[in-house]
Amino acid sequence: MLAEERQRLILSMVNARGSISITEIMRKLKVSRETIRRDLMVLKDEKRLRKTHGGALSLEQSEPEMKVREVTNADGKRAIGRLAASLVPDGASVILASGTTVQAVADALMARRDLTVFTNNVISCGKLMGHNGNRVYMLGGEVQALNGATLGRDATAMLANYFADFAFIGAGAVSPAGWLMDYTREEAELHSAMLQAARTAAVVADRGKFGRFAPVRLNSFDRVTHLITDAAPEPEIRAALAALPLDVLIAGQDEA
């Protein structure tokens, strides 16, 4: 295969997925790691993609619309939601971020009673408030139409007043190196604060988030106690996660 053809294929894969790892490109194109690295450098120099540690990120990248994410791996997200909610007893305090996987957690928490909930998600707030004796605190800030969630300094400042038993956040991506990543700095800052504000700090991420990249790296992955997903990550990512003080729970295997 000529280099130009191979580079077109690589660029097509990156733009289709938003991000891709060198390992996955090697597996699909059956060429060496060094060849892929050279191709990525060429594409980077031509300003056709962004090269990252272990892979590449599309310059066309943006977070998919909520309607698209709601129907993507919906069964897997529901299974993650049930497993995450199984950790939470009646009467607990819970921080819930935005995103469709965290929304699945909120849906599963409808069976609990007397929860105290802190959330920046409009949908979670509407479902849980006044239900089964719950108390719900809606974090302030500008409402983002893309996520139906509040972000910014007001949300982060309000959250600083509270501490909860559990926090559940989603992930824009989990990179091949085991980095937790988000699409915006405001989202990453609020998610980092949520992880810091709970005794049990959980990331919920379906299989589609692994081996990908997003523009902003979170600094609080060492605060995560649980990573809850619907399929075992690739060996490279599992090795990176093994160095962190967290439990990886897989829905279907870990559900009681």
How many helical (H) and strand (E) elements, i.e. helices and strands, does the chain have? Answer: 10, 15
> Is it the case that residue 136 has pLDDT exceeding 60?
yes
Domain at 66-250, CATH class: alpha beta
Q: Is pTM beyond 0.85 here?
A: no
pLDDT at 72: 64
pLDDT in tens, 217-230: 898 788 999 999 99
d(CA 58, CA 7): 13
> Is it the case that residue 66 has pLDDT exceeding 70?
no
d(CA 130, CA 217): 36
Pairing of the two strands 198-204 and 164-169 = parallel
pLDDT in tens, 81-100: 999 999 999 999 999 999 99
Residues 190-213 have a mean pLDDT of 93
Structure tokens at 106: 């909120």
> Is it the case that residue 202 has pLDDT exceeding 90?
yes
**Residue 152's CB: how many other CB atoms inside 10 A?**
17
Q: Which of 177, 221, 226 is nearest to 196 (CA)?
A: 221
Q: What is the DSSP string of 76-121?
A: HHHHHHHHHHTTPPTT-EEEE--SHHHHHHHHHGGG--S-EEEESB
Q: How many residues does the chain have?
A: 256
Domain 3-58, CATH number (from 3.30.70, 1.20.120, 3.40.50, 1.10.10):
1.10.10
* Extents of the domains making up the chain: 3-58, 66-250
